[in-house]
Amino acid sequence: MSSIPHLFTPLTLAGITFPSRIFVSPMCQYSSVDGFANDWHLVNLGSRAVGGAALAITEAAAVLPEGRISPQDLGIWKDEHVPELRRIANFLHAQGTRAGVQLAHAGRKASTSVPWLGDGLVSPANGGWTNVFGPSAIPFAPHYPLPQALDGDGIARVTEAFRRAATRALNAGFDVVEVHAAHGYLLNEFLSPLSNRRGDGHGGSFDNRTRLLLEVVDAIREVWPLELPLLVRISASDWAEGGWDLPQSVELARLLKGRGVDMIDVSSGGLVPGVAIPVGPGYQTPFAAQIRREAQIPAGAVGMITDAEQAEQILSTGQADAVLLAREFLRDPYWPLHAAQKLDYSASWPKQYLRAASRENPARQPIAAAEQGV
Helix H or strand E segment including 179: strand 176-181
Tell me the C-alpha distance between 196 and 211, whole Å: 12
Q: Determine whether 185 is an active site residue.
A: yes
Catalytic residue among 144, 185, 334, 345: 185
Q: Cα separation of 22 and 255, whole Å?
A: 26
Predicted local confidence at residue 277, as pLDDT: 96
pLDDT tens, residue by residue, 221-255 = 999 999 999 999 999 999 999 999 999 999 999 99
pLDDT of 357: 67
pLDDT of residue 354: 84
Nearest residue to 56 (alpha-carbon basis) of 33, 32, 37: 37
pTM for this structure? 0.94
Quick one: pLDDT at residue 358? 64
The contacts of residue 301 (CB under 8 Å, 6+ apart) are 266, 282, 284, 285, 288, 289, 314, 319, 320, 322, 323, 324
Do the Cβ atoms of 145 and 108 come closer than 8 Å? yes
**Which one, of 205, 189, 210, lies nearest residue 137 by Cα?**
189
Instruction: Say how far apart CA 360 and CA 187 lie, in whole Å.
Output: 51
Mean pLDDT by 10 residues, the chain (374 residues): 87 98 98 98 98 98 98 98 98 98 98 93 95 98 96 98 99 98 98 98 98 98 98 98 98 98 98 96 98 98 98 98 98 97 92 74 36 36
